[in-house]
Amino acid sequence: MSDVLHHHIKLPEGSIEKQTTTLNLGPTHPATHGVFQNIIELDGERIVSAEQTVGFIHRAFEKLAERRPLYQITTLTDRLNYCSSPINNMGWHLTCEKLLQVETPKRVDYLRVIIMELARITDHLICNSIVGVDAGAYTGFLYVMQWREHVYEIYEEVCGSRLTTNMGRIGGFERNFTNAAFQKLENFLKEFPAVWREFENLFKRNRIFMDRTKDTGAISAERALNYGFTGPNLRAAGVDYDVRIHTPYSSYQDFDFTVPVGTTGDNYDRWLVRGEEVWQSLSIIEQAYKKVQAFKGTEAEVYHADCPAYYLPEKKDVYTKMEALIYHFKIIMGETEIPKGEVYNAVEGANGELGFYLISDGGRSPYRLHFRRPCFIYYQAYSELTDNAMLSDAIITMSSLNLIAGELDA
């Protein structure tokens, strides 16, 4: 009987004796999460081992960056963590400013802080609501997504586009924030806290949600540090490392905020840490907004640093003044003097320490640009996080880690 079977069906090695089921949690996920694959060996409902495959959206950013001049690389950085593009943009501009030794005025710093914290809020908003969706609660996500639209409107006022913002330039912003932008920001600051409180009330002490997320996907602080975790995932494990506090950039030292830290590093802690960070970000935005409003007169017109060698002059000056014309020509044609050197700069992205390692050889495009992407580094730990876990817990662990495929693969 079995001879007949062997003639027509070729079974893989060891598949008859195997006690576990192989499940392909394939690259096509129910939207939201992005493309990565997990080949899981299941024993009933328990996971015995998991092997991850990434690279399904590898777009060769690092090689592309060697082709483009510094100011064109901003569009690439947008598409790293596309849920919070402005943070990537600002991080890149800060790296260039470090290399080019450009000092930005305080007003620019505060405006950057407002934008970065708004982006952080939107990213945590998506992550926490998606954890809810994976636990079965779609309403929270739909309700809170509406508020992303309000933030998109603010981005549109500043830079013109919604999602992949390409915001700002080396040295500041391309135009001053309009009154409309500030008004929309005020509306957001007035209305969003109530929304976030309502969203948190749905989940925070919800019996079902707590049962699903507590004690699943836990990681200890030592293992997390060894795996290179940063950001909310590390803070949930108990280590209070935040790039904004350790190496303050863009005048973060002028702001008063706390960094929420968890204890066990499980899914519930990660959810709570992100939720609390939204509150802290709201408070930072309010402080920054007050500081920006405090600038009066000509100081309120400052929106970029005074570095004509790297910042495109205004078009009307290009048509009338000689120096502006020369600078415009030099910047566009790539004749600016970019110093040689190596710089590593990190910002606190929504997922952790987003680092830019830039090696410049004096030419208009970098010699080598490497992105230190937090998602790529902490996704390695996924097999350890889901060791001997149930399949449904593994799904929630994956979404609570906030894996963004663009950042994973670059």
Show contacts with another protein in window 346-385 (CB under 8 A): 346, 353, 355, 357, 359, 367-368, 370, 372, 376-377, 379-381
Please work out the total of residues on this chain that contact another protein, with binding judged by CB under 8 A: 76
Task: Give the residue with the Cβ less far from another protein, 124 or 184.
Answer: 184
Quote the least distance from Cβ 345 to another protein, whole Å: 8
Task: Give the residue with the Cβ less far from another protein, 265 or 406.
Answer: 406
179: tokens are 């009154």
Residue from 189, 241, 313, 318 that binds another protein (CB under 8 A)?
241
Residue from 18, 45, 63, 208 that binds another protein (CB under 8 A)?
63
Q: Is 27 a residue that touches another protein (CB under 8 A)?
A: yes
Quote the least distance from Cβ 131 to another protein, whole Å: 15
Residues 156-195 that bind another protein (CB under 8 A): 162-164, 178-180, 183-184
Q: Is 59 a residue that touches another protein (CB under 8 A)?
A: yes
Q: Which stretch binds another protein (CB under 8 A): 102-110, 241-249, 282-290, 393-401?
A: 241-249
Q: Which stretch binds another protein (CB under 8 A): 75-83, 269-277, 313-321, 391-399?
A: 75-83
Q: Which stretch binds another protein (CB under 8 A): 105-113, 192-200, 222-230, 284-292?
A: 222-230
Task: Give the residue with the Cβ less far from another protein, 44 or 339.
Answer: 339
Task: Give the residue with the Cβ less far from another protein, 209 or 379.
Answer: 379
Instruction: Render the burial of 272-283: b for 16+ CB within 10 Å, e for the rest.
Output: bbbbbbbbbbbb
Contact criterion met (CB below 8 Å) for 38 and 50: yes
Q: Is 153 a residue that touches another protein (CB under 8 A)?
A: yes
Q: Is 388 a residue that touches another protein (CB under 8 A)?
A: no
Q: Is 60 a residue that touches another protein (CB under 8 A)?
A: yes
Q: Which residues contact 346 (CB under 8 A, 6 or more apart)?
A: 91, 243, 247, 353, 354, 355, 356, 372
Q: Is 295 a residue that touches another protein (CB under 8 A)?
A: no
Quote the least distance from Cβ 97 to another protein, whole Å: 11
Site string for another protein, 313-352 (x = CB under 8 A): ----------------------------xxxx-x------
